[in-house]
Structure 1
């Protein structure tokens, strides 16, 4: 990695792939100072992807960033990125219904907001499944802010490898083979 993260501006517009210690693989993009996009490649909700999720994004101290949000599913997420050390800590608070019916959420959430809201009301919320995990960052890309090519299609088998090995984005961080 050539970038040293010091300021919030260094962090915004950055694209990450990371794997939690439990084996779950996620892809996450700091789209701007209030919005994140992500795809889930492994774990109980693998196949899920979301764009334009409103989030609280702050710098705790030089090179350490905290992001948190509540999804339409009722899932709460809190992430602390330490990109200079290629690690992060995340805690996901899954409502009971997501733990029991994860397949409902495995979709492009933005096109199914009514289903997420309805499921949140229809099924049990508590007790929440709390998943606190450390993760190893395996990819950092400087995509620039508000780049809609970063998270723009459903995850597929091998996508993280395609991204890490330079087969997914061109030199301007736009998708190859749209």
Structure 2
């Protein structure tokens, strides 16, 4: 099925790998909220639920999701699900690039630590990561499915999801 409109995009669950090798998992929870897990890369092991985001349809089959994290990291993702591609730009504050280990946890339980670190360490210059990614898994799990991103990433989780060993129905 081709994804054309926003109502088809909402509830989508993706796993994608950036050209630099970083693997992410992303769930479009509803019209203004996303959940995600980071499986590898600079902040691999990090996971977040209920991140407020701006989610819009740019044109048929192309969607933009943008947000600012409590860390001060800004993210802009352009999803092209029918082509199994996306383009992302992550604007990491200097402190996240220099101390990524502070963010590698379940963010929701550590918002004060993220805010404290954002004030304690330098923000600029930002470490900008613009990359294309290949979508390696895509399924609509329905809106507000709390089962999708409900545990920390573990080494085989992305593959378990892709092979159907782990499902969220």
The question of a shared fold, defined as TM-score above 0.5 by the shorter chain, is answered with yes
Alignment partner of 1:135 is 2:119: no
Give the TM-score normalised by the residue count of structure 1: 0.94
The corresponding residue for 1:112 is 110
Q: Which of the numbers 142, 145, 148 marks the counterpart of 2:146? A: 148
Q: Which of the numbers 87, 92, 101 marks the counterpart of 2:85? A: 87
Matched ranges for 1:91-102 at <5 A: 91-102=89-100
Tell me, in whole angstroms, the C-alpha distance in 2 between the residues paired with 1:6 and 1:131: 28
SS at match of 2:164: coil
Q: CA deviation at 1:43?
A: 0.3
The structure 1 segments of at least 4 consecutive aligned residues displaced by more than 3 Å after TM superposition are none
Q: CA deviation at 1:39?
A: 0.1
The corresponding residue for 1:57 is 55
Which digits, 9 at most, give the CA deviation of each residue in 1:98-129, with x for residues without a partner?
00000000000000000000000000000000
Q: CA deviation at 1:25?
A: 0.1
Q: CA deviation at 1:142?
A: 1.3
Which digits, 9 at most, give the CA deviation of each residue in 1:22-50, with x for residues without a partner?
00000000000000000000100000000
The corresponding residue for 2:68 is 70
Gaps of 5+ in 2: none
Alignment partner of 1:164 is 2:154: no
Tell me, in whole angstroms, the C-alpha distance in 2 between the residues paired with 1:133 and 1:24: 10
CA RMSD in angstroms, aligned pairs only: 0.5
Gaps of 5+ in 1: none
Q: Which of the numbers 2, 12, 31 marks the counterpart of 1:33? A: 31
Give the TM-score normalised by the residue count of structure 2: 0.99
SS at match of 2:30: coil
The count of aligned residue pairs is 169
The corresponding residue for 1:24 is 22
Q: CA deviation at 1:141?
A: 1.2
